[in-house]
Structure 1
Amino acid sequence: MDEAALRAMMPISFGKRRAQQARWAAASATNADANASVNAEGLAAVGQDKEENDLSCSVLGKRVAGTDEADADADQDDGLTPEERAANREAERQENERRAKGIASDDSDDSDDQDSDDDQIGPPLPPRTSSSRIPPRSMPPITQTATLSGIHAKTLSALAVDASGSRFALGSYDSYLSLYDFGGMTSSLEPFRHFEPTHETYPIVDLSFNTNSSHLLVISATREAKVFTRDAAEIGTCRKGDPYLRDMRRTSGHVSALTCGMFDSHELAKFYTGASDGTVRIWSEESMHRAQHDMIVLKSKSRGTRTKVTAIACERERIWASGEDGALRMWDLRENLNGRPRHCVDAAHEPDSWTSCIATSGETVVTRGGDATVKVWDARKPTRPVVERADLANASAHTGVILDPFNSRSLITGVSDRVQARRNGGHDDLVSADDRTDSSIVVLDVLDLSTLCTHTTSSTPVRLHWSSHTDQLFATHRNGSLSILYNPTRSTNGITLALARRAHSRPQSPTADSYAIATHTTSTAPSESAKRRRLARARQDPHQTLLPQPPLHGPGKAGRIGAGVQQSSVQNLYRNPDDLNIDPREALLKYANRTAHTEHHLDPHHQYNPPP
C-alpha cells in the first residue's frame, strides 16, 4: 500500500495535537514578551495585525503562524509532503506582500464565490424580472388562432368542452345546437350534428358536460332543461312547475325562464339549474321528469323579496349563486338548504347588474360583474373582495371568466368593444369610430389583477374555456364565430389534428359534359320484375298512393275521434235520415207539372161539381 493510500485512511487530526500544543505555548510566550515591552497603542496594533493574519490564513486554509520552532515541529507532524509545505509558505508570503501593498485578495473573493456556488444544488435560478412572476404554464397559448364560422349567425351564448378536449358543443341565440368532434373533423371545421333541441325559437343560454362527458345538459330560455347524450340523442326533460303557485317550495319545477345550469363535478347524474323565479334546483336524471331532488330559494333584501339567478358555480360541497340584486351567496350542500346561506355578500356587485359568471378553484372565487368589474374572493371569509378591478366592460350577459387549469395563477376574461355604446344607452349609431375600443381577451394576475397580456379579437368575446388536456383556449364571439387559440409547440391534438386533415372534395354541379348519354345499343330500361317491385313499394307508401286513413282503434288522439266497442250500434241507431240532403222546394215543384196531365183522369162529375 503506498503513502497516498495510507494518508487517506488516517483521520484528519492525526499528528496535529502535538503541533497545536507547541503552537499555543509559543504564542503565549510571545504575547508575554510583547505585553512587557509595548504600550497600549502597540498592543492594539499587534492585535490588529494578528487578526488580519488569522483572517488571511483562514481564507487560504492554513493554520495560524507561530514561532519558527513551533512551525518546525508542526511541519514534522502535519502529514504534508515537503513540496506541499513549500507551496503553502510561498502562498502565505505572496499574500503578505499583497496586503502590504494595499491590494485586495482576489483569491479570497474567488474562493468565496466558489464556496457559494458549491452550496447551490441544481440548475441556476432564472433572472428576477417582472415577466417571471407568472409561470409560463399559466399563460394561455395565444400564438395562433383557428376560426370556426358560417354555422351560426347570432351570438354564441353557450360553450361546453368535454374533459378530454376532443369534443365540444356550441349554443346560440338562433336556438340551434352544434356538436363538433376533433377526431372526425377536417380542415373544413364543420360540425357533425346541427339541430334545434327545443323545436322552438328559444335561445340556448348554457351548456355543460357531466364528469365522464357522456351526457350534455342543455339550458334554453324555457322552463325545461333537457339532457342529451354526447351524440345528440335526447335522454329526458325536466318537469315544469305550476306558475300560479306563490310558494316556490311547493312547485315541482321552474316556473319561469332558465338562466344557467351545470353538472355536478363529482356525481354523474346530478345537475343544477337556476332561473328567473329566484330558485336554484338540484336534479337527478332518474327523477327529473317527476320533480327536483332539492332546491334553494334566493331571498333578496330588495323590494319584492325575489331576485333572478344570474350565475351558479359548484365545487366540492359548496354551491355559489349570484342574483340580479348584486348579492353573492354560498350554501353548504351538506346542510339544510331551506335555511340561510353560509355566506352572503349583499353588495358584491352593483344592484340591477347581471353577474355573468362565477369561477372557483379551491379557496379562490372570481366573479364577473355586469358593472364592468372583476373581483377575487376568499371562500373562507368572503366579506370583502381580496382584490378587484373596475375597468373591464362587457356588453353581453354571458361574458365568462376562467382560471388557468394548472395552478390558478392567472385568470382570463373578455372585454367588450362597446364601452361608449353602453354609456350612451346601448345605441351603436351614437358611437363614433374614435370612441370605439378594440374588443380583446385579457389575461390578469390573480394576486393583483394586473394585465399580463392582451389578445385583440375582431368581435366581442363571450364564453371562454381553457382545456388542460390539449392546452387550447376556446372563445365564442357575438358575431357567431368561435376562436380556438393554440401554440404549436405546447398544444397537442385538438384543433391541430383537424387542421392537418384535408377537407373532402364535394361533388360539382352536373354539366352537359358530365351527363351519361345512352345509345340505342345500351339497354337501360327496367325489367318487368323491377317495375312490379317498385309498384308494390309505392302502394305501401300512403303518401304516394293517397290511401285514406285507416280507422282509429281505441281513444281518439291528434284531433281524431276514436272507435269504441259500441260505435257500430250507435251509428246504426242514430244514423242520418235519407232526405237530409233533399231540397224541399224542389220536391214540391216536381208535383206541379202533374196537374195538367191528370185532369182528364178525373170524373166529369167531379170536374163540374168539386167536393165541398
Structure 2
Amino acid sequence: HQIKSLQYSNTGDMILVVSGSSQAKVIDRDGFEVMECIKGDQYIVDMANTKGHTAMLHTGSWHPKIKGEFMTCSNDATVRTWEVENPKKQKSVFKPRTMQGKKVIPTTCTYSRDGNLIAAACQNGSIQIWDRNLTVHPKFHYKQAHDSGTDTSCVTFSYDGNVLASRGGDDSLKLWDIRQFNKPLFSASGLPTMFPMTDCCFSPDDKLIVTGTSIQRGCGSGKLVFFERRTFQRVYEIDITDASVVRCLWHPKLNQIMVGTGNGLAKVYYDPNKSQRGAKLCVVKTQRKAKQAETLTQDYIITPHALPMFREPRQRSTRKQLEKDRLDPLKSHKPEPPVAGPGRGGRVGTHGGTLSSYIVKNIALDKTDDSNPREAILRHAKAAEDSPYWVSPAYSKTQPKTMFAQVESDDEEAKNEPEWKKRKI
C-alpha cells in the first residue's frame, strides 16, 4: 500500500505510519513494529460498533499532549482515536455528517495545539470540529468551506489555537477563526494542487503561513509560497524544483523548513544564524580531499607466467583428458566397494545389500535338530546317579530302581494296531 502519512510522536520514540490499507501501524525509531490497529467488521452498518476502520485510510496525527494517543480518518466516514497500549479497539469514534445527516468521507484530520479539539475536512467541502470528549455532535461546522467534490488536503491550527488554516483541493488556501466560525478570515486562490496530501503550516512565531503548489510536468517549477497571517499578502515565494511541492514542514525548534516534492526530492531550508542543529550538523562537514603524494620508485615488471603459482596448465588433447578423468574416482563416478566385515555408515555388511537378505542369512536360519532326545537325556544319567539333586531324591524310597521305557520300533506299533486303523496300500 502507498504510504500516505508519516509523523513522529512528540517524544520522538515512535512513528505513526498511515498507508492505503485500513490498519495504521506504529513503529519505533529502529523500525520495529510497536502496534497495529485492528481491522473492523465491514458487514456492520453502524461504524461506531466496529472495533476499527473498514476502508482505506487518509491521514493520521499524534495527540500533542498525551503520549501514546493518535487519530486516523478513513473512507468508512469515521475519525477514530487510538491508544498504543490498546490496539484491539479504538478509543472513540467521530462520524462526520452533512447537514441532512448523511455520511461524508473525511480527507484529513488534526488536533488543536492543546489537544482539546479535533478538526476534520470532508469531501463535500465542509470543515467539522469536535470537542475531544464529546463524540456525538460537532462543536463547529461550516458546510461550504471549499468546493464540494474536492479533497481538502490539510487543516492545521495556529500555535495560539485560535486560527485554523485549510488547504483545499479547489486551489485555494483559507484562514478561519474558530471563535467566529461562520466565514473565512482570508482566502487566497491560484494555488494549484494535484495531490490529496499537499500541506500548509504556520511559522513558529505564528506570523507566516506557507504552502506548496503543483505543476504539470515540463510546465514550470513548483513553488513554496509564504503568506502573512495578519494581512494574508503573498510576501515571498521560492522556486523549489521542476516538480510539484507536496509536503512542507516548518519545525518549531530547529527553525528549518523541510520540503518534499513530486519527483522524490527532499530539501531543507535553514538560516545559518537563526536555525539550530538539524541540517547545520551535516552541512559543516566538508568532504575530505585525498592527499596526493608523488614519489619516484623503481618499477618491477613481473611476467605472470614466470612464477609457478600463476602458471596456467596448457590444454591437453581430449583423449588424454578423458583418460585422466577415467582414473579419477570422483569424475568417473566409481561406485563404492562393498563393505568388508560388519556394516557401518548406514551400509549393510557382506551379508547382503538389503535388509531382507541380511535377515534371511542371519536370523531366519533353519536350525532343525535331528538328534534323539532320549539319548541326549541319558548322556547325563551317570552324573545324575552319582550326585542326585532334583528328581532322584523324591523317588529314592518309592522307586529306588530307575525304570525306562523299552524302545519300540514303528513297525511293531503298526502290527499291534487294529485292522480298521491300518493303512491300506
Give, in whole Å, the separation in 2 of the partners of 1:241 and 1:367. Answer: 30
Gaps of 5+ in 2: 290-300, 310-425
- Mapped contact 1:328–1:346 kept (Cα < 8 A): yes
Of the three residues 248, 259, 275, the one matched with 1:491 is 275
TM-score calculated relative to the size of structure 1: 0.46
Matched, 1:440 2:238: no
Distance in 1 between the 2:231 and 2:308 partners?
85
Give me the identity figure in percent: 26
Q: Residue 255 of structure 1: SS of its match in structure 2?
A: coil
Structure 1 residue 309: Cα displacement? 1.2
Say whether residues 1:481 and 2:265 are aligned partners: yes
Who is 1:454 aligned against? 237
Q: Which residue of 2 aligns with 1:466?
A: 250
Structure of higher RCO (CA pairs closer than 8 Å, 6+ residues apart): 1
Q: Distance in 1 between matches of 2:77 and 2:212?
A: 27
How far did residue 491 of structure 1 move?
2.3
Residue 348 in 1 paired to residue 145 in 2?
A: yes
**1:241 matched to which residue of 2?**
40
Select which of 302, 308, 320 maps to 2:119: 320
Cα deviations across residues 299-339 of structure 1 (Å, max 9, x unaligned)?
Answer: 1247x9222211111022011011111000011113x31x2
**Residues 114-193 of structure 1 mapped to structure 2, 5 A cutoff:** none
CA shift, 1:440, in A, is 0.6
CA distance in 2, matches of 1:344, 1:481: 37
Aligned to 1:33: none
Is residue 393 from structure 1 mapped to residue 177 from structure 2 by the alignment? Answer: no
Distance 1:232 1:391, change over 3 A: same
Residue 198 of structure 2 aligns to a residue whose secondary structure is coil
Structure (1 or 2) with the greater helix fraction: 1
Kindly indicate which of the two structures has a greater share of residues assigned to strand.
Answer: 2
SS in 1 for 2:48: helix
Counterparts of 2:157 and 2:224, CA distance in 1: 19
**Equivalent-residue separation in structure 2 for 1:252 and 1:438 (angstroms):** 45
Q: What is the total number of aligned residue pairs between the two structures?
A: 292
TM-score, normalised relative to structure 2: 0.65
Q: Secondary structure at the match of 2:180?
A: coil
Report 1:12-23 matches (<5 A). Answer: none
Q: 1:215 aligns with which of 5, 8, 14?
A: 14
Q: Deviations over 1:371-428 (max 9, x none)?
A: 01111111112111011112211121111000001x211100011224xxxxxxxxx6
Q: How does 1:99-110 map to 2 (within 5 A)?
A: none
2:155 alignment partner in structure 1: 358
1:410 alignment counterpart: 208
CA distance in structure 2 between the aligned counterparts of 1:504 and 1:395, rounded to whole angstroms: 42
Q: Which letter does structure 2 place at the counterpart of 1:340?
A: H
* Post-superposition offset of 1:448: 2.4
Give the residue type in structure 2 aligned to 1:413: T
- Counterparts of 1:261-340 in structure 2, within 5 Å, are 261-288=60-87, 290-301=88-99, 305-315=102-112, 316=114, 317-334=116-133, 336-337=134-135, 339-340=136-137
Q: What corresponds to 1:146 in structure 2? A: none
**Corresponding residue for residue 378 of structure 1:** 177
In structure 1, runs of 5+ residues without a counterpart are 1-201, 419-427, 506-512, 522-612
Please report how far the alpha carbon of residue 357 of structure 1 lies from its aligned counterpart in structure 2 after TM superposition: 0.4
1:272-317 per-residue CA deviation (whole Å, 9 max, x = no partner) reads: 00001110001001111x1111111111247x92222111110220
Amino acid at match of 1:414: G
CA contact (8 A) 1:387 1:447 kept: no
